[in-house]
Amino acid sequence: SSTPPVSTFRMNVYARVLETRRSFKVDGSDNNNAGFVPSMDGSHKMVVYFVRHAEAAHNVLEKRAQERARSIGGDEAAVEAARKNVLKDPTLRDPSLSFDGKQQASTSASGINQLFMSTHYAPPELVLVSPLNRALETATLIFYPHFDEAGGEEEGKSGTA
């Protein structure tokens, strides 16, 4: 089995992550302690944000398969078997976000931006993300909302979260 070609979008996201990683200094040598939050004792603590991917196409199909199995009187084992059967489809190895998943990520972006604007918490200096489409899309929508699939910042918009 051959590896599918990496999309331009994916390559641009990788480039953005590497660019961010190169500029990140955990030793504080840049003298601004970016990404660190002062604590009561005068030390600085790093803030780490963990985000799970939003709903992807395979999640939608799994739910439908489970609903069908239940509607014909299937027990929990049959419902689980129906769900797992969906995942055997090779076209679902690396699914994109569903429409609802994109909405979930956009809603999360709004929430996290509100956190950054209303508290002392800063946007992440480094975003590490799985290479799977659903994870890349979620991270991009949340932390790089103005980064378009064509490969760069949308005109007139820049910056992270």
Which residue ranges in the chain fall short of pLDDT 50? 1-4, 24-31, 150, 155-161
Q: How far is CA 98 from CA 12, 18, 127, 134, in A?
A: 21, 27, 22, 9
Look at residue 16 in the predicted model and tell me its pLDDT.
62
Spell out the SS3 assignment of the chain. Answer: CCCCCCCHHHHHHHHHHHHHHHCCCCCCCCCCCCCEEECCCCCEEECCCCCCCCCEHHHHHHHHHHHHHHHCCCCHHHHHHHHHHHCCCHHHCCCCECHHHHHHHHHHHHHHHHHHHHCCCCCCCCCCCCCCHHHHHHHHHHHCCCECCCCCECCCCCCCC
Look at residue 108 in the predicted model and tell me its pLDDT.
94
Residues 34-69 pLDDT 10s = 555 666 676 677 788 889 999 999 999 999 999 999
Look at residue 19 in the predicted model and tell me its pLDDT.
58
Average pLDDT for the chain: 78
- What is the model's pTM? 0.66
Read off the tokens for 144. Answer: 């790089």
Look at residue 120 in the predicted model and tell me its pLDDT.
85
Look at residue 147 in the predicted model and tell me its pLDDT.
61
Q: How far is CA 12 from CA 136, 151, 152, in A?
A: 11, 6, 7
